[in-house]
Amino acid sequence: MKQISLGGTSLNVPQIALGCMRMNSLSLNETTSVINTCLENNINFFDHADIYGEGDSEKLFGAAVKELKLDRESIMIQSKCGIRDGFYDFSKEHILASVDGILKRLDTDYLDVLALHRPDSLMEPEEIAEAFSSLQSSGKVRYFGVSNHGPMQIELLQKHINQKLVVNQLQFGLKHAGMVAYGMNNNMENEVGIHRDGGILEYSRLKEMTIQAWSPYQYGYFDGVFLGNPKFESLNQVINEMAEKYGVTDTGIATAWINRHPANIQTIIGTMNQQRIKDIAKASEIELSRQDWYQLYQASGYHLL
């Protein structure tokens, strides 16, 4: 498994992480098996959020780690907070209370990474700075990041907080590739050339901020998976040809496409299927050629000028 530096820090993490949003659908035995499969394939980074399963995903994960008697230092746990019922909340009070709840549910003393979930337009950066300093000095959180944030929102936060923001979770994949598409359409009066994200890909590389790709196999916003989907017959034909060429599955190719980008993106996979986890982990062993990467890009519906 390829290791990457998380946000330019000394913390090295696997390029593939397990997203635990669907973990609450499993039994305790199934959860321990999933975690074991991840560890056997050198995936020891687990992404949570306080809203996943209304907290049940974190509870189940914590129970499974205890059942497995895992050394806490052998795994890395990230969680997110800030989404509430009908609104977003980055207040100091809510961040601190959220982390206490997260730690209790996970049955752990600390988080390796805490990320602020979707942007709170009413955020007070000074409040967030106080919360982060308190969490860091108490040892409850080691690193900090954000999710679904743009460059100027990050700059506003970074102006006030003392901690470097090391991650930003963004939707990215073959059918959600606007981050790379607009860059190849600069100065073009077309739809894809509109800078919707403020150049977040280039910004992240300049700031050594790790992008974590969520829902990498989805098209649209949770509209469904494009792999094996008859709506995307041409794309899947190319993917399947590549899979045969490289000796991996279609999911492996879709993952390898993300891994190939020099931004060193960390892909967060949400599957609880143990065979699929193994198949995806195998993708870390291959590197798509430049020609193959661009062929997949175009097959997904984007065009070169």
Q: Which residues are catalytically annotated?
A: 52
Ranges assigned E (strand) in the chain: 3-5, 12-14, 16-19, 45-47, 76-81, 83-84, 87-88, 111-116, 141-147, 165-171, 210-214, 266-269
Question: What span, in angstroms and rounded, lies between the C-alpha atoms of 274 and 230?
Answer: 25
**Which domains, and CATH codes, for the chain?**
3-299 (3.20.20.100)
Cβ contact 215:175 at 8 Å:
no
What mean pLDDT is predicted for residues 257-275?
A: 96
With a cut of 90, say whether residue 87 has pLDDT above it.
Answer: yes
Closest-CA residue to 215 (of 183, 164, 258):
258
57 close to 48: Cβ distance less than 8 angstroms: yes
Nearest alpha-carbon partner for 29 in 76, 55, 64, 54: 64
Residue 40 bridge partners (DSSP): none
pLDDT in tens, 182-232: 888 887 887 887 878 889 999 999 999 999 999 999 998 778 999 999 999
pLDDT band at 153; cut points 50, 70, 90: very high
pLDDT in the model for residue 198: 86
- SS3 label, residue 194: coil
pTM of the model: 0.95
Radius of gyration of the CA atoms of the chain, in A? 19
Mean pLDDT estimate for the chain: 95
